[in-house]
Structure 1
């Protein structure tokens, strides 16, 4: 159970991208608030942040030609068996990748490197473009 660093979403192999979608669905649904060491930080924020992160995953899936249940693009939707959020405030966030403007501040350079290491241990090597 992990949310990949936001900069990696567009670089993930299909299996990890689809797994990230399932993870987001579970966390937005009845998994919200259930502790797990690698994602506990998300519970310190509004569920709207998870929705914003999930939208990045959904947009990448669509870009690759996958079909996604449109209900997941609604901020209050939590799946078939979970009650919708009633008072969900929208939170402004930009796509800029500076630490202050990311969805989760925990997705910093150290976390990025941790994710890269985790992928490499799975035999997945992400080609990072030089900037």
Structure 2
């Protein structure tokens, strides 16, 4: 279980992108609050942050032509078997809505390098354009 660094989302191979969608669905659902060393940091924040991160995944999936259950674009939705979040408001997704900065402060340069190393161990070499 891992949330890939946000800079990597548009560069992930399809298998990792789709896997990330499944992870987000699980974490938003009954997996919320269940400890796992690589994602424990997300539980320090509102579930809304995970929703925002998931929107980035969904946006990239749609950009690549995948169909996504529209209910996942609703912040209160947690899957078929979990109760909705009563305190998260609904918003309309816009392409640039979550692109104005990182969602999790833990997604820093060190974490980016950790993710790149992890992908490389899987035989996936991603080159970032550094400005």
The verdict on a shared fold, with TM-score over 0.5 as the criterion, is yes
Hey, what's the Cα distance between the residues in 2 that align with 1:65 and 1:52? 20
Residue 95 (structure 1) aligns with = 99
CA 1:62–1:94: 2 relative to 1, 3 Å? closer
Normalising to structure 1: TM-score of the pair? 0.91
Offset of 1:129 from its aligned partner?
A: 1.9
Normalising to structure 2: TM-score of the pair? 0.91
Query: Are the equivalent residues in 2 in contact too, given 1:24–1:50 (CA < 8 A)?
Result: yes
Q: Secondary structure at the residue paired with 1:30?
A: coil
**Where does the alignment leave 5 or more consecutive residues of structure 1 unmatched?**
none
Query: Are the equivalent residues in 1 in contact too, given 2:28–2:50 (CA < 8 A)?
Result: yes
Q: Post-superposition, which runs of at least 4 consecutive aligned residues in structure 1 deviate over 6 A?
A: none
Superimposed CA distance per residue, residues 37-96 of structure 1 (whole angstroms, 9 cap, x where no aligned partner): 000000000000000000000000000000000000000000000000001268xx8523
Question: Is residue 29 of structure 2 the alignment partner of residue 29 of structure 1?
Answer: yes
**Where does the alignment leave 5 or more consecutive residues of structure 2 unmatched?**
91-96
Query: Are the equivalent residues in 2 in contact too, given 1:48–1:89 (CA < 8 A)?
Result: no
Aligned length: 125
Residue 122 (structure 1) aligns with = 122
